[in-house]
């Protein structure tokens, strides 16, 4: 489904700034209907990786193969059909939706960009669609600033799913939410995957969350993917000292 090969990105601050290798030769594969969990601490480059894959940032080198096609070689309008098939859900609910638009306007946006339905059917489709995402119809008239974080993430996910994508980057989708809301959103994500067969790249700094939600996992540290493997195997037998340190740290907080 998605193969990332040797992907790299270097940021330069200013003209003479020191170059910073945010993503450094990362390779990973996400199979159809699979959830690949990407663990990393803040500043490790995991969010940059998500943006490189979804072409929100230009990569310096490497390949992102989606269904066998290298996305990084596609330019301009030719990219639009791939945009529909590949989406990203963001971390911060407070800026996930345009604050000056109503929830309904935000949900209409995919229709303005892609030929998904006739004009007259759109609102009916939206109203039917949101039922599956636990969004109350009265929410549609509200502006984003009047909606709670958990609800915003539901709306953002519902909006993405209007496109029927095959792959979604989930960039810390629950890190700003309370645990009980996190559990709800993760359950919703699981249900959506079971129904549509969509693949996820789940980015998070929470090992426990990844362990529960993903089948395959990678650990990112300072721009590099230092270790990857089946989630349970990785927890049972971590090879890298950094991975071991992370797992220990999480375990210690769970001990009494």
Residues that bind another protein (CB under 8 A): 41-42, 51, 54, 56, 79-80, 83-84, 87-88, 90-92, 95-100, 106, 109-110, 112-114, 148-151, 156, 163, 175, 178-184, 186-187, 205-209, 211-213, 245-246, 249-250, 252-256
CB of 28 to another protein, least distance (A): 20
Give yes or no for a contact between 25 and 224, defined as CB atoms under 8 angstroms apart.
Answer: yes
96-to-42, 93, 139, 149 alpha-carbon distances in Å: 19, 5, 16, 9
What is residue 132's DSSP assignment? T
Q: Nearer to another protein by C-beta: 6 or 208?
A: 208
Closer CB to another protein, residue 6 or residue 43? Answer: 43
Q: If you count DSSP H runs as helices and E runs as strands, how many of each does the chain have, helices first?
A: 10, 10
Nearer to another protein, 35 or 106 (CB): 106
Nearer to another protein, 15 or 118 (CB): 15
CA distances from 47 to 158, 228, 243 (A): 21, 17, 19
Q: Which is nearer to another protein, 6 or 149 (CB)?
A: 149
Q: In this complex, which beta carbon is closest to another protein, that of residue 16 or of residue 253? A: 253
Q: How far is the CB of 184 from another protein (least distance, A)?
A: 4
- How near is the Cβ of 20 to another protein at its closest, in Å? 17
How far is the C-alpha of 120 from the C-alpha of 58, rounded, in Å?
Answer: 37
Least Cβ distance, residue 11 to another protein (angstroms) = 13
Q: Which is nearer to another protein, 25 or 142 (CB)?
A: 142
CB of 228 to another protein, least distance (A): 19
Q: What are phi and psi of 138, to 5 degrees?
A: -70, -15
**Least distance CB 163 / another protein (angstroms):** 7
* Cβ proximity of 28 and 218 under 8 Å: yes
Helices within the chain (DSSP H only): 46-53, 80-85, 93-96, 103-113, 122-131, 149-161, 179-196, 207-213, 231-236, 241-254
User: What whole-number distance in Å separates Cα of residue 143 and Cα of residue 141?
Assistant: 7
- Within 10 angstroms of residue 88's Cβ, the number of other Cβ atoms is 22
Nearest distance, CB of residue 255 and another protein, angstroms: 7
**CA separation for the pair 93, 95 (Å, rounded):** 5
């Amino acid at each position: 489904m998605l193969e990332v090969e040797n992907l790299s990105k270097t940021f330069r601050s200013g003209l003479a700034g020191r170059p910073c290798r945010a993503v450094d030769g990362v390779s990973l594969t996400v199979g159809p209907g699979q959830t690949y969990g990407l663990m990393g601490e803040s500043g490790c480059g995991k969010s940059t990786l998500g943006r490189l894959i979804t072409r929100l940032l230009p990569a310096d080198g490497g390949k992102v193969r989606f269904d066998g096609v290298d996305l990084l070689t596609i330019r301009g309008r030719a990219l639009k059909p791939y945009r529909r098939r590949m989406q990203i859900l963001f971390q911060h609910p407070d800026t996930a939706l345009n604050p000056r638009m109503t929830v309904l306007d935000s949900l209409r946006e995919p229709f303005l960009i892609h030929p998904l339905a006739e004009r007259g059917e759109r609102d009916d489709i939206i109203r039917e669609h949101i039922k599956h995402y636990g969004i109350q119809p009265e929410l549609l008239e509200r502006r984003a600033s009047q909606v709670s974080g958990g609800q915003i993430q539901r709306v953002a996910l519902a909006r993405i799913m209007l496109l029927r994508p095959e792959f979604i980057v989930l960039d810390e989708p629950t890190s700003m939410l309370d645990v009980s809301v996190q559990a709800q959103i993760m359950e919703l994500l699981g249900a959506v995957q079971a129904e549509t067969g969509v693949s996820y790249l789940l980015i998070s700094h929470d090992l426990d969350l990844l362990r529960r939600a993903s089948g395959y996992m990678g650990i990112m540290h300072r721009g590099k993917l230092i270790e990857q493997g089946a989630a349970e195997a990785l927890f049972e037998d971590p090879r890298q000292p950094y991975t071991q340190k992370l797992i220990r740290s999480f375990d210690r907080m769970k001990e009494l």
